[in-house]
Structures are given as C-alpha cells and as structure tokens.
A and B are shown apart, each in its own frame.
Chain A
Amino acid sequence: MPVLEHATEGTPSAAAPIASAAAVPGRFGKYGGRYVPETLMAALLELEAAYAEAQADPAFHTELADLLHNYCGRPTPLYFAKRLSEGLCGAQIWLKREDLLHTGAHKINNALGQALLARRMGKQRIIAETGAGQHGVATATVCALFGLDCVIYMGEEDMRRQELNVVRMRLLGAEVRGVSSGSATLKDAINEAMRDWVTNVRTTFYILGSALGSHPYPTMVRDFHRVISIEAKRQFAEQVGKNPDVVIACVGGGSNAIGAFYEFLQDENVRLIGVEAGGRGSGLGEHAARFQKEGGGLPGVLQGTYSYVLQNEAGQVALTHSVSAGLDYASVGPEHANLHDTGRAEYTSAMDAEALEATKVLARTEGILPALESAHAVAHAMKLAPTLGKSQVIMVNLSGRGDKDMGILTRELGLGIKAAENQGTR
C-alpha cells in the first residue's frame, strides 16, 4: 500500500515518507499523521471522537459563536492601512485585525474551542505550552472563564523575554512552569507538556496552541481559526467588492496562517504567502525558516507529526533563533508542509531587523503596534506592495498586538527612558 518516494536531489531517502497518505486520518498529502508514544493513543482517539461529536452538535457551535462574539469581540475589523499603503506607492494593504481580539491575539479562537471541548469531555485539568505567551494567556483566560485548573509550560528563555505575559497568566490563576531543557523555548515547552500529558493522561486535556502535533490537533486547531478567513472573505466582498489578490501571514507553527489561508485555498488566483522567521542569518541555529533552501529543514518527525523539521545530518533537531518567541520553532504544521510542496502557498522569511523595522513603520503610519510575530508578515507586505499595482489588494493577517513585546522593543530599539544615550550607542 504505501509508496516510498525518494527525495529528488542530494539527499537520498532522507525525505521519504514513512507511511502512505491513506494510512490514517489527519494526513495532508504525505504529512501529518500520529507519531506518539502508545500511552497517548487512547487519549488522541478519545479526543478525535469527542471532537467529531462536538462538530456535529449545533449546540456546540452556537455556544462557541456566542462566546466568540460577546466575549472575544468577533468579528474583527478588516482595516485599510491607507497611510502605510500610500507610503509604499503600490498595492493596497488591508489588515485583518486579530490583534483586537480579547487577550490580544488570534490564539483565543482555538483556546476557547478546545476548552469547550474539554468541558464536554469532563476534563477538569488543562495543560498547555506557550512560546510568546499569547496561547498561554488565552488558555489561562478560558480556564478562568470555565473554572478549570490550568498549568502552562513555557521555556525559561521565553519567560524572560515575554515576562508581561507570565504575569498575566499568573493573574488569571494559571500555574506557569518554566522549562530549562534544550534552548528553553517553545519546542522544549511542548516536550514538557507532552510528558505531563502522558503522565496524567486520564484526567488532563492538552490544549495545544498551534496547528501542530498529532491528529486531530492540526485539523482541529485549523478549524477553530477558520473563522479568520470566513470573516475576511465576506468583509472583502462587502468592503472591496472582490477577494484579496494576496494573503500574507506569519508562520511559526502556522495556526494564524492556516486560519487566514483556509477559505481562500479554493480560490486559485489568491496568492497565499507564509512568512517564517529569518532570524539573524542563514546558518542552522540562526533562524526558524523551515522551508528556505539551504536552511536545514527537511521532512522528519517532531512532537507527533511528520512535517519539515530543522535538523542536522544525524536527525537531531536544531536550535532556532528569532526575535519573536512565537515563531521560534524548529518544525511547522503539517498542512503547511503540504501547501509548500504542492505550491499552493509560498513561504518566505523576514529577518529580525526587518520585523523590528516593520513594527516601527506600522506604529508610526497607522498607530497600530503589531506583535513581533505579526510584524514579520507586515515586513513582507512592505517588500511586496511596491512591486504591485495600486489596484492590487494585499491582506495581512495582523495576528496579535505588540504590548507583550515592550521589553524586547525597549532593548532592540533603544526606546527606554535612557533613549538618547542608547540611540547614540547602538
């Protein structure tokens, strides 16, 4: 049944798929699947069944829609960034304002959906991982809302650089557990969350925060974020009278991007562009650009799914770097891997410095402070817009707001109270 495809150039058999596309549900082309310790399988099957049941239950959708509207503030606006666009002398840039959602990022769409599911399943204890802290804050928030116990795993490096979000999670009643292994970032937080889950699997629901991991997570997380492109498509029809020509989103694990892309997948004249973290260079360990040629990304298995993984020749997963904690991850959601290989979406990267510059430009032209993650998408839009005509329309999914990044911005841009001296020396 399975077909062993060999990689085309250079790396014989390294990119061979390890199972057939039809072997199990949760495949995106040859990517995805379930690669977990056996102990978790019963929980994944239970989750898959519970999710299918919830999907078929109108009451589940009604409650989710009500909370998304009245608690989270959906629909989020589609906003024409006029001054930004004019300054670039090219295409019109429209921002899908996920940054205006309750808790400040798209992450709550999914956290809310999964928490409702946990409640249906009678699981009282919630665990989650977080990188930038936005998923952790969203999870802590919905746990407070539903009275659930909440433990958040976060790399110690990320706790340091996103300290404000650590404080927010604790205020919301969550226990934040620091993770010091590896590079002490998102990947290591997921490892530790999975160790917790495998130990407490009978009582615990794992609210995974990106379109990653084993089936059904990539599908379920995407479904909860589809609302982004469902709304955007309708808003473009109403406000512009046509689909956008290009949709741009940043890609860490890829949850905001898959949500922003999904309803446009069938519209083949809409270009879909994912922007990875180019970090500070192209060497392994300097970036988190899984799809960029010569970057060290190859198909492999990390944390339960088959997708592109930054790794060395021995199959050890590489360390990564990005100024934005939310993009600082060695693998990527399996659906993006398939969109990459089929060519339906394009993947590019923006460097740390470009994201920082885009943050400043958006703040000063539009009065909108993007999260450093989302600033990668803005940076690419700023490169692309001048190459396109003024009738062309770009949607940037502004996945989060930048309040959490004040510490990093203070350091990187020298804007603190000693600004004058700092700017002189940098």
Chain B
Amino acid sequence: MAIHFPSRPGLVVYLTAGDPSLEATYAIALAALDNGADVLELGVPFSDPLADGPVIQRASERAVGRGVTLQDVLALSRRVREARPQAGIVVFSYLNPVVRMGLPDFCKAAKQHGADGVLLTDMIVEEAGEYLAEMKANGLAAVFLAAPTSPDERLRAIAESSEGFIYAISRVGITGTQTSLESDAEELVGRLRQFTQKPIAVGFGISNAAHVAAVGRFADAAIIGSAIVSLVEQSASGNEAAAVGKFVRELRS
C-alpha cells in the first residue's frame, strides 16, 4: 500500500465520493483499480468548490445534498483499502472540512482509514508548516499542486514538500475536459524536473487515451478527473462501475 507507478504512464483516477452514492463510488473505485488505475483520489464533496469546473461542481453539489461528509469519505477509504491492499489512495479535499475536523485528528484518521496521501486544493506550501508536521507524524504523503504560473522558486518548494507525486496542473483554469492538451504541461514538467526525481503526474483537461499517451512522453502519470465524473453522471443507475472500468481500460490501450 503506497503510491507508485509500476508502468509508464501511470494512471490516477479522481472520483467525487458519494456521487451518485457512497456504495456506487466504492464499486466505481474497485472497477477503476481493477482496470489499470494505480492511484485513486477520493474527492471530498464541498459546498464551495471554487477550483472546479461545472462537472465536478455538479457532482459535489449532489453529494453535499446527500449529506456525504469527510468522515464518510474516510470510511470509504478504509473499505477500498481492505478490498485492494495494493491500491494507492489519496484523500482529495478543500481545506475547510479538514479544519473543521481538526488537522491532527484528520491526519490520524486518514492514516487509520488506509489512506496513503492527502491533497488539499487550497493549501499552499507557505501555509503548510503545521499540516506537513502532522502528515509526517502519521506517515502520510502530502501532494501539492504545481501550476504553469508558479515561478521556479515556488516549484522547488512544492517539489521538496510533496511526497508520493507532484500534481502538475496542465493549464491555468479550473477542472474540466478539453479537446487538446496545451503546451503549458510539458514546460511545467520540465521546470519541475530540475528540482526533483519524484513522480510527476499531470492533471486538468485529460480525457482520452491520446492525452494519456501524450502525457506519458514527458511525465510519470496522467490524472483523469472530470471525464470520469462526467461519465458517472451520464451512466444509467447501477451501470457506473462497468462504464468507468471500460473507460479506464481503454485509456492505456
């Protein structure tokens, strides 16, 4: 149980937990892992997802409306861990639910529930002293975002603080699919590479096998989020796991 990418490009799959239900997310998670995902990002639904585009906003709103909490997502993490001991699991959240639980309690609980790492969308390295100390004390990997707009000195700090992998954002903007990958991504990975040999995963706007293959030429892994959340939204009830399994399998074919 750790974050690793045995074959290149690795595959990271983001799911908004609790959409359409926690039970469905559990089944989708196993289907994604069984069809080639190396790491799961279990997204904690939040009332104010200001970094997300319409697809994840809608999923988040549905899950919040159903009363899905951070505690529920941790319970889901435990079930996935028990079912798939080799999976990489990252809890992906906005900061406020974590602050509400309390950082020390959250980090302890995340570890106990089988998570390998945590990504907090609105946590930057300068503010992360306490967070990193708690993460380290619990043996958890802190994943930070790196952006095309980040100057080199920030990339260095991000690379040093991140464990597991570094999440390189392919373009400026919010989450969501796009038809072509912008050249921002390769340049950003190149700049990060000056500072680290840790795995670099590229996310935002990756939605098909061609994108994954393109990312594989310059990065360690590709992150698929909105494309899968959208597929879940469009699938007939009960059919989500099968649809996601098939989609993930084809991403690396």
Residues of A within 8 A of B (CB): 1-2, 4, 12-14, 16-20, 23-24, 33-43, 181-182, 187, 190-191, 194-195, 198-202, 298-304, 306, 309, 311, 313-317
Contact = CB atoms under 8 A, between A and B. Distances in A.
A315 B121 contact: no
Contacts of A181: 57, 61
Interface stretch (B77-85, B144-152, B189-197, B215-223): B144-152
Contact of A301 (B70, B71, B99, B128): B99
A317 B122 contact: no
A196 B48 CA distance: 15
B29 interface: no
B100 A23 contact: no
Contacts of B48: 182, 187, 191, 302-303, 317
A34 B154 CA distance: 14
A37 B129 contact: no
B112 interface: no
B122 A36 contact: yes
Contact of A37 (B47, B71, B96, B145): B145
B61 A19 contact: no
A304 B123 CA distance: 9
A32 to B, nearest CB: 10
Give chain B's interface residue range (CB within 8 Å of chain A).
Answer: 35 or more
Contacts of B130: 2, 4, 17-20
B172 interface: yes
Q: Which of B100, B124, B126, B149 counts the most chain A CB atoms within 10 A?
A: B100
15 contacts: A2-B129, A2-B130, A16-B99, A17-B130, A34-B124, A35-B123, A37-B121, A39-B150, A39-B172, A39-B173, A40-B149, A301-B99, A302-B48, A303-B50, A315-B46
Interface stretch (B2-10, B101-109, B239-247): B101-109
Contacts of B97: 314-316
Contacts of A301: 94-96, 99, 122
Interface string B1-45: 000000000000000000000000000000000000000000000
Interface of B: 46-51, 53, 57, 61, 64, 67, 69-71, 94-105, 121-124, 126-131, 133, 144-151, 154, 158, 169, 172-174
A282 B146 CA distance: 42
B71 A314 contact: yes
Given A38-B124, A191-B50, A23 B129 contact: yes
Given A13-B105, A191-B50, A309-B96, A198 B173 contact: yes
B124 A18 contact: no
A131 to B, nearest CB: 15
A16 B96 contact: no
A315 B104 contact: no
Contacts of B94: 301
Nearest to B155: A38
* The 6 residue pairs across chains A and B that have the minimum distance between CB atoms: A13-B102, A315-B100, A315-B97, A314-B69, A199-B173, A39-B147
A95 B123 CA distance: 42
A41 B150 contact: yes
A41 B102 contact: no
Contacts of A313: 100
A387 B114 CA distance: 60
Contacts of A190: 50
Given A18-B95, A38-B144, A195-B174, A317 B47 contact: yes
